Amino acid sequence: MRCDVLTLFPEMVTAVINESILKRARVKGLLDVRVINIRDFTSDRHHTADDYPYGGGAGMVLKGEPILKAIDYIRGEDKDLRIVLLSPQGKRYEQSAAWEFSREQRRIVFLCGHYEGIDERVRIYLSPEEISLGDYILTGGELAALVIIDSAARLIPGVLGDRSSVEEESFNWGLDYPHYTRPHQLRGMKVPSVLLSGDHEKVRLWRRKEALLNTVKKRPDLLTNADLSDEDINLLKHS
């Protein structure tokens, strides 16, 4: 997975990609993230990347010229780009999109907006794909870009040590089952006895049942179009 992050605040991005799983993925050569400071493509000595909006109003607007120059620079290296604008106006990001990004062969450019937004002519000129994390407003697109990079990178084969953990986890079909670790008893609460039984089939059925019940309780909408097996239906009937 190869991507560039266009931002006014590069330290926000580098602080995250240089830690934990993302750092290991980069060291392994499975993830290539380049952070580009939009201010480097300004033309004045103060590196001004924003200005007051035409027509008046509160806040500032990101200037279009530095952004387009940055895109031109990237296109000079790689013509085949997938340009993504992080925006509350975009399509809501879901796990299916994370899988898609993890398999993307093109270089991905994440454009991080700030303040009141970007000059509309950037949208007109680039026609970027727009993605939103949800119906709320962030101070900028950096956190959204990092969420997408993290959620997609961990799906790339070799990034996580145990591939089965990716295949079984939440949102592939519903929510996760409860997890327990040592000690056996914590403030009067014991680990369910089935997990100590050593019976792998009983453990599998318990986990599947608990995952289904967890989904019914917290996110029943995820089951609306779910392809439940006969076993799933039977577990729900007898719960």
The structural domains of the chain, with segments of one domain joined by +, span 2-153, 170-237
The segments of the chain whose pLDDT lies below 70 read 163-165, 167-173
Residues 6 or more apart in contact with residue 212 via CB below 8 angstroms: 174, 232, 235, 236, 239
* Residue appearing with tokens 């997938």: 82
Q: What is the three-class DSSP state of 141? A: coil
Omega before 183 within 30 of 0, i.e. cis? yes
Q: Write down the pLDDT at residue 172.
A: 60
Q: Give the pLDDT confidence of 120-164 residue by residue, as tens digits.
A: 999 999 999 999 999 999 999 999 999 999 999 999 999 997 766
Q: Write down the pLDDT at residue 37.
A: 98
Which ranges of 94-229 does DSSP label H, i.e. alpha helix? 95-102, 120-126, 142-153, 163-168, 200-218
Which ranges of 76-130 does DSSP label H, i.e. alpha helix? 95-102, 120-126
Tell me if the pTM is above 0.85.
yes
Secondary-structure class of domain 170-237 per CATH: mainly alpha
Q: Write down the pLDDT at residue 226.
A: 87
d(CA 14, CA 29): 17
CA gyration radius for the chain? 22
End-to-end CA distance of the chain: 42
The helix or strand, by DSSP H or E, that contains position 23, with its residue range, turns out to be: helix 20-27
CATH 3.20.10.10 fits 2-153, yes or no: no
Closest residue by Cα to residue 73 from 45, 36, 111? 36
Q: Write down the pLDDT at residue 69.
A: 98
